[in-house]
């Protein structure tokens, strides 16, 4: 008489499969939360904003260094400067509500040398919401300290980005 041996199944049970799928799901959630692509893109845009503000202030100070400390001007009058004394947007939009300071067209008092493209290739604008009409950056000269402050009010993740030089 021969005995018939029963083969023991080599598969996984339903419980084992569910446990493995659950572990994979938890690991995937942790990795996605750690990487967080939305946050990474927002941080990249904030880094671009900071670089833009440095470019703006560097271009203005290079201009001033070559023009006896005079800042770029759009009114063309030697005795006055219309460089903003309060936070003003940068761009070509001159009507309400923006009424921006057109830095791209700003010149020395004689109107001979424009800041763009001599001191910067183009006026940078906010990577999310800016345009040439309104760069979504602000700039002003603090009369008490004599320093220029450029800011990015549209910064993300609650960041306050400004450069004072």
Mean pLDDT of all residues in the chain? 88
Judged against a pLDDT cut of 90, whether residue 151 lies above it is answered with yes
What's the token pair of residue 142?
């603090």
Residues ≥6 apart with Cβ < 8 Å to 46: 152, 155, 156, 157, 159, 161
Residue 74 token pair:
């759009």
Rounded to whole angstroms, how far apart are CA atoms 20 and 2? 40
Q: Is the pLDDT of residue 8 over 70?
A: no
Instruction: Give the number of C-alpha atoms closer than 13 A to the C-alpha of residue 102, restricted to the C-beta side.
Output: 12
pTM as predicted: 0.79
> What is the tens place of the pLDDT at every residue in 27-61?
998 888 888 888 999 999 999 999 999 999 999 99
């Amino acid at each position: 008489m021969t005995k018939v041996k029963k083969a023991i199944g080599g598969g996984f049970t339903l419980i084992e499969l569910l446990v493995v799928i659950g572990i994979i799901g938890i690991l995937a959630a942790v990795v996605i939360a750690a990487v967080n692509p939305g946050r990474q893109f927002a941080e990249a845009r904030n880094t671009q904003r900071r670089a833009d503000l440095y470019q703006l202030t560097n271009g203005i100070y290079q201009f001033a260094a070559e023009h006896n400390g005079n800042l770029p001007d759009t009114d063309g009058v030697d005795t006055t400067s219309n460089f903003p004394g309060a936070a003003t947007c940068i761009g070509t939009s001159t009507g309400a509500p923006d009424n921006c300071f057109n830095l791209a067209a700003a010149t020395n008092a004689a109107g001979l040398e424009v800041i763009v493209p001599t001191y910067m290739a183009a006026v940078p604008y906010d990577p999310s919401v800016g345009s040439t009409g309104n760069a979504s950056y602000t700039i002003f000269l603090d009369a008490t300290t004599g320093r220029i402050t450029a800011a990015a009010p549209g910064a993300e993740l609650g960041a306050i980005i400004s450069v004072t030089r």
